Chains A and B, each alone.
Chain A
Amino acid sequence: MNKVLLGLVLGAILGAIDGMTAWLTPEVRAQIAGIVIGSTVKGIIAGVLIGVFARKVQSIALGIGFGLAVGLLLAFIVAQMQHGYYFQIMLPGGMVGLLVGYATQRYGRGQQSQRT
Chain B
Amino acid sequence: MTQLSDSVVARLRTEMQVPDLEGTRYRIVRHLARGGMGSIWLAEDTVLKRRVALKVLDLVAPADDFGARLLQEARILAGLEHRGIVPVHDAGTLADGRAFYCMKYVEGQTLAQHIAAKNIQEKLRLLERIAEPVDFAHAHGVIHRDLKPENIMIGAFGEVLVMDWGLAKVGAPGLRSAENEISTLVLLTPNPSRVTGQGTVLGTPGYMSPEQARGVTTQLDRRADIFSLGAILAFMLTGSVRGEALAVKGNVPRPLRAICEKAMAADPNARYQSAGEMTDDIECYLNGAPVLAYSEGLLERARRIYARHRTAIVLVAAYLLMRVLFILLSRR
Decide if A24 touches B330 in the complex (CB within 8 Å). yes
| Nearest CB of chain A from residue B329's CB, rounded to whole Å | 9
Given known contacts A24-B330, A25-B330, is B315 in contact with A92 (CB within 8 Å)? no
Decide if B316 touches A99 in the complex (CB within 8 Å). yes
Segment from B68-76, B226-234, B320-328 that makes contact with A: B320-328
Determine the distance from Cα of A60 to Cα of B319 in the docked complex, in whole angstroms: 18
Decide if B322 touches A103 in the complex (CB within 8 Å). no
Instruction: Give B76-88 as 1s and 0s: 1 = Cβ < 8 Å from A's Cβ atoms.
Output: 0000000000000
Decide if A99 touches B315 in the complex (CB within 8 Å). yes
Residues of chain A lying within 8 A (CB to CB) of residue B327: 21, 24
Q: Which of B280-332 contact A (CB under 8 A)?
A: 311-312, 315-316, 318-319, 322-323, 326-327, 330-331
Residues of chain B lying within 8 A (CB to CB) of residue A98: 315
Asked whether any CB of chain B lies closer than 8 Å to the CB of A88, the reply is: yes
Given known contacts A24-B330, A25-B330, is B311 in contact with A92 (CB within 8 Å)? no
Report which of A14, A21, A95, A102 forms a contact with B312, defined as CB distance below 8 A.
A102
Residues of chain A lying within 8 A (CB to CB) of residue B315: 98-99, 102
Determine the distance from Cα of A24 to Cα of B331 in the docked complex, in whole angstroms: 8
Q: Which of A3-44 contact B (CB under 8 A)?
A: 14, 17, 21, 24-25
| Nearest CB of chain A from residue B256's CB, rounded to whole Å | 24
Residues of chain A lying within 8 A (CB to CB) of residue B319: 14, 92, 95-96, 99
Decide if B330 touches A95 in the complex (CB within 8 Å). no
Decide if A21 touches B316 in the complex (CB within 8 Å). no
Given known contacts A21-B326, A24-B327, A24-B330, is B316 in contact with A106 (CB within 8 Å)? no
Determine the distance from Cα of A53 to Cα of B322 in the docked complex, in whole angstroms: 26
A95: nearest chain-B partner, CB-CB: B319
B325: nearest chain-A partner, CB-CB: A91
Residues of chain A lying within 8 A (CB to CB) of residue B323: 17, 21, 92
Decide if A88 touches B326 in the complex (CB within 8 Å). yes
Given known contacts A102-B315, A106-B311, is B326 in contact with A95 (CB within 8 Å)? no
Describe A's contact surface by its main secondary structure.
Answer: helix
Residues of chain B lying within 8 A (CB to CB) of residue A25: 330
Decide if A91 touches B312 in the complex (CB within 8 Å). no
B314: nearest chain-A partner, CB-CB: A102
Determine the distance from Cα of A2 to Cα of B312 in the docked complex, in whole angstroms: 18
| Nearest CB of chain B from residue A107's CB, rounded to whole Å | 8
Instruction: Give A79-108 as 1s and 0s: 1 = Cβ < 8 Å from B's Cβ atoms.
Output: 000000000100110011011001100100
Residues of chain A lying within 8 A (CB to CB) of residue B316: 99
Report which of A24, A95, A103 forms a contact with B318, defined as CB distance below 8 A.
A95
Decide if B311 touches A95 in the complex (CB within 8 Å). no
| Nearest CB of chain A from residue B244's CB, rounded to whole Å | 42
Given known contacts A98-B315, A99-B315, A102-B315, is B322 in contact with A24 (CB within 8 Å)? no
Determine the distance from Cα of A64 to Cα of B281 in the docked complex, in whole angstroms: 31
| Nearest CB of chain B from residue A20's CB, rounded to whole Å | 10
B319: nearest chain-A partner, CB-CB: A95
| Nearest CB of chain A from residue B311's CB, rounded to whole Å | 6
Residues of chain B lying within 8 A (CB to CB) of residue A102: 311-312, 315
User: Other than the known A60-B311, A98-B315, what 7 A-B pairs have Cβ atoms closer than 8 Å?
Assistant: A14-B319, A21-B327, A24-B330, A88-B326, A91-B322, A95-B319, A96-B319
Please list 14 pairs of residues, one from A and one from B, whose beta carbons are closer than 8 Å in the complex, sorted by A's number: A14-B319, A17-B323, A21-B323, A21-B326, A24-B331, A88-B326, A92-B322, A92-B323, A98-B315, A99-B319, A102-B312, A102-B315, A103-B312, A106-B312
**Which 10 pairs from chain A and chain B are nearest by CB?**
A24-B330, A95-B319, A99-B315, A24-B327, A25-B330, A102-B315, A95-B322, A99-B319, A21-B323, A102-B311
